[in-house]
Amino acid sequence: MGFSVEEFQGKAAWAAGWGTTVGVRTVTQQPRILQQVQLPIRELDYCAFQKKIYPDPDMVLCAGGEGKDTCRGDSGGPLTLTNRVGTRYFLVGVTSVGPTLCGASNTQGLYTSVNHYVDWITRTMRT
């Protein structure tokens, strides 16, 4: 694709999903309509710590950190960027894992980096 993870840093991405809208672990509230949230793609200290378990830190992107987040049940959903005029959306991440308390301050969600896996996706689709 030609994009590096660094090129996404600081951009505002959109995440969408049907996951719970309450950040408390013991309370589940499923929405009746698809939810979306705009999140900055950036690497806070929380992100750097979470990425240590991955053999290659470029395998995941981090987004959020402003008190908004994806939550339980959103896994597998899209993290997208748009072109400059907002007419096309590009899948840059897949919702993967987040903090125990969704949207807690100074925490972020981790998203599988589609860019990292483009070659594998292309090879797999051809077979």
Q: What angle do CA 16, 98, 59 make, to 5 degrees?
A: 85
What local confidence, expressed as pLDDT, does residue 90 receive? 93
| Contact between residue 12 and residue 84 where contact means Cβ atoms under 8 Å apart | no
CATH number of 88's domain: 2.40.10.10
The residue range of the domain holding 91 is 5-126
Tell me what percent of the residues of the chain surpass a pLDDT of 70.
91
Does the pLDDT at position 115 exceed 60?
A: yes
Confidence of residue 26 (pLDDT cuts 50, 70, 90): low
Q: Across residues 92-119, what is the average pLDDT?
A: 92
What residues does 111 pair with on adjacent strands? 61, 95
Range with lowest mean pLDDT among 3-12, 59-68, 114-123: 3-12
Looking at the 3D structure of the chain, how many domains does it have? 1
What local confidence, expressed as pLDDT, does residue 40 receive? 94
**What DSSP element (H or E) covers 120?**
helix 114-126
Confidence of residue 25 (pLDDT cuts 50, 70, 90): low
Does the pLDDT at position 2 exceed 60?
A: no
Q: State pTM to two decimals.
A: 0.86
What local confidence, expressed as pLDDT, does residue 105 receive? 83
